[in-house]
Amino acid sequence: MIIEEMTMGEFEEGLKKCRTVFIPFGSVEEHGYHLPLSTDTIQAYEVGKGAAGRIPLFVAPPVHYGCCRSTSCHPGTISITTATLKGLMKDIVRSLHSHGLINFIVLTGHAGGTHRMALVDAGEELIAEIGDIKVSVVTEYDLARREGRGIIETEGDAHAGEIETSRIMHSHPHLVKGTGKREFPDFPAGILVRNKRRFWENGVWGDPAKATADKGNRLNDLIIGKVVELVRAIENFSE
């Protein structure tokens, strides 16, 4: 049940068979010279839609902006503060809860540490505030890395590398512009730097040259399966 495509009546009918909603968070962030700025958002939303094709599940419109620190100096990255991110998540959950939803799967396609912790903090504050909700906050990259161990060849692959390039090649091949080069960031240990691009020129963390659409298809299928499992787990969870 894709919320942005539903009518008011369809939403009302959907509540009779499902009280769980998937909320995809992404970013507008550089992904090298070969992938679109919306890569994180695309991946998260595609997973939600795939899961909704297998089980009853509301899928909220994606939140396109995130907190992007390591890529803040790269062209095209648009970052928001953690306070704004937390506020967005809390407002969205409160509003959906007012319409009868009680189980919330928050999946972020952007894997930045500060971004992730802001979403976890928001989730912790929400479950303390609203007594009848259950919240899960998961990072899509963690699922892809774990589930794709037998598929991905590049050790330490993360951002705009083999994993993400494969997945966009599968779901949105028209948005892949050539092939990026293997690269890993070289930030100085323990030192905060202003010009982050100096230590990560092309914005790739991995090896996109090893990407294939088939790998992307297999990865997507595995991740969707894990989300389906998570939905069932949260619906049956009690404490």
147 has pLDDT over 90: no
pTM of the model: 0.94
Give the span between the Cα atoms of 117 and 108, in whole angstroms: 11
Q: What is the pLDDT of residue 98?
A: 97
Torsion sign, CA atoms 109, 51, 59, 38: positive
Each residue's pLDDT tens digit, 82-95: 999 999 999 999 99
Per the domain annotation, does 197 fall within a domain? no
Q: How many domains does the chain have?
A: 1
Percent of the chain with pLDDT over 90: 94
Please give the average per-residue pLDDT across 220-233, as a whole number. 96
Per the domain annotation, does 198 fall within a domain? no
Measured in degrees and rounded to the nearest 5, phi and psi for residue 194 equal -80, -50
Each residue's pLDDT tens digit, 150-185: 899 999 999 999 999 999 999 999 999 998 999 999
Per the domain annotation, does 82 fall within a domain? yes
Give the span between the Cα atoms of 208 and 26, in whole angstroms: 20
Per the domain annotation, does 164 fall within a domain? no
The residue range of the domain holding 223 is 3-145+217-236
Per the domain annotation, does 14 fall within a domain? yes
| Closest alpha carbon to 133 in 88, 87, 94 | 94
Task: Please state, as a whole number, how many other Cβ atoms lie within 10 Å of the Cβ of residue 184.
Answer: 15
Of residues 237 and 197, the one with the higher pLDDT is: 197
Q: What is the pLDDT of residue 148?
A: 85
Each residue's pLDDT tens digit, 92-143: 999 999 999 999 999 999 999 999 999 999 999 999 999 999 999 999 889 8
Per the domain annotation, does 231 fall within a domain? yes
Alpha-helix residue ranges (DSSP H) falling in the chain: 8-14, 39-52, 82-98, 113-129, 140-147, 162-171, 213-236
Per the domain annotation, does 18 fall within a domain? yes
The CATH number of residue 122's host domain is: 3.40.50.10310
Each residue's pLDDT tens digit, 177-221: 998 999 999 999 999 999 999 999 999 999 999 999 999 999 999
Percent of the chain with pLDDT over 70: 100
Per the domain annotation, does 172 fall within a domain? no
